[in-house]
């Protein structure tokens, strides 16, 4: 407990300093940023509204992330075994990665309707490329000696995948998750800004509050987004400690 408190103390002190600076700036620039008490008042007086909006954004993030992770891993698996698949898929993945997703969102809304489907797609597209690259690198990171040992035991590709390649790829997959889980929240908000139709979600709350120049609600929604991002980060850290106990480098880094 003492060690954990010592580790968290610098972050707590820095947050306290930033809160004091924020409050000082807000008192003297009330049209620039709201005071912390105003942000808390909005959250306290409308908890149901923010919980519902957070639930929608969380759903968009979870569905988009989950679908993108499955597709990226399956493609990485095919690319690691069949070189022609990599030569076919990688250029398209790069093109998708460099294409501004905001420009795709209106077309996706027209093609798939004005519900949540375009938001799922935008979220999934934003996180797809780093998931694909890390999954491919992880599947190829197998120790050659370990692979030769498995082959000497006549292990088929299924056994090699389950008992060797997937465990070897876990550090890469979890490193991608550290980036992509919070990035998925950003992707959901970008989708809510750019995909017309459904007006639910924290991004929609921010957009409506911005139109009304109601800054406390804008920053209250941002606080909720930060909480979601932190929750995803802690989930990944817990998974790392659970799944990578054998990797001392990762365990010490967490």
Sign, CA dihedral 156-162-163-167, equals positive
Mean pLDDT of the chain: 85
Residue 13 is predicted with a pLDDT of 87
Residue 246 is predicted with a pLDDT of 56
Band of residue 71 on the pLDDT scale cut at 50, 70, 90:
very high
Q: What is the pLDDT of residues 152-185, one digit of tens each?
A: 777 777 777 777 888 888 889 898 998 898 888 9
Position 251 pLDDT exceeds 80: no
Q: What is the pLDDT of residues 184-211, one digit of tens each?
A: 898 888 888 876 666 688 888 898 888 8
Q: Answer with the residue of higher pLDDT: 245 or 97.
A: 97
Most confident of 36-45, 104-113, 238-247: 36-45
Position 102 pLDDT exceeds 70: yes
What's the average model confidence in pLDDT over 215-242?
A: 90
CA distance 111 to 118: 8
Least confident of 21-30, 39-48, 102-111: 102-111
Position 234 pLDDT exceeds 50: yes
For 51, the token pair is 């919980």
Instruction: Find all residues with CB under 8 Å of 112, minimum gap 6, and list them.
Output: 118, 121
Are 192 and 202 in contact by the 8 Å Cβ rule? The answer is yes
Q: What is the pLDDT of residues 13-41, one digit of tens each?
A: 888 999 999 899 988 888 888 999 999 99
CA distance 1 to 125: 41
Instruction: Find all residues with CB under 8 Å of 125, minimum gap 6, and list them.
Output: 68, 96, 101, 104, 187
Q: Is 31 helix (H, G, I), strand (E, B) or coil?
A: coil
Q: How far is CA 18 from CA 11, 144, 226, in A?
A: 10, 49, 15
Q: Answer with the residue of higher pLDDT: 254 or 51.
A: 51
Q: Architecture of 38-253 per CATH?
A: Orthogonal Bundle (1.10)
Position 225 pLDDT exceeds 90: yes
């Amino acid at each position: 407990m003492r060690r954990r408190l010592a580790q968290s103390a610098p972050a707590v002190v820095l947050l306290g300093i930033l809160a004091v600076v924020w409050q000082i700036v807000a008192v003297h620039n009330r049209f620039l940023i709201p005071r912390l008490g105003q942000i808390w008042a909005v959250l306290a007086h409308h908890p149901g509204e923010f919980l519902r909006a957070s639930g929608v954004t969380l759903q968009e993030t979870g569905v988009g992330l989950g679908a993108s992770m499955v597709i990226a891993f399956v493609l990485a698996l095919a690319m690691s075994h069949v070189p022609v698949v990599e030569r076919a898929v990688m250029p398209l993945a790069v093109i998708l990665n460099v294409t501004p997703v905001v420009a795709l969102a209106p077309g996706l809304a027209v093609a798939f309707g004005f519900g949540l489907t375009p938001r799922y797609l935008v979220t999934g597209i934003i996180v797809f490329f780093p998931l694909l690259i890390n999954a491919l690198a992880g599947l190829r990171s197998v120790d050659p000696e370990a692979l030769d040992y498995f082959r000497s035991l006549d292990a088929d590709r299924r056994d090699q995948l389950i008992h060797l390649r997937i465990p070897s790829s876990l550090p890469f997959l979890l490193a991608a998750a550290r980036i992509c889980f919070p990035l998925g929240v950003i992707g959901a908000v970008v989708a809510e800004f750019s995909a017309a139709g459904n007006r639910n979600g924290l991004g929609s709350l921010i957009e409506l509050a911005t139109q009304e120049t109601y800054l406390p609600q804008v920053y209250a929604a941002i606080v909720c987004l930060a909480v979601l991002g932190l929750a995803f980060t802690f989930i990944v850290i817990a998974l790392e400690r659970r799944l990578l106990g054998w990797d001392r480098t990762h365990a010490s880094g967490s």
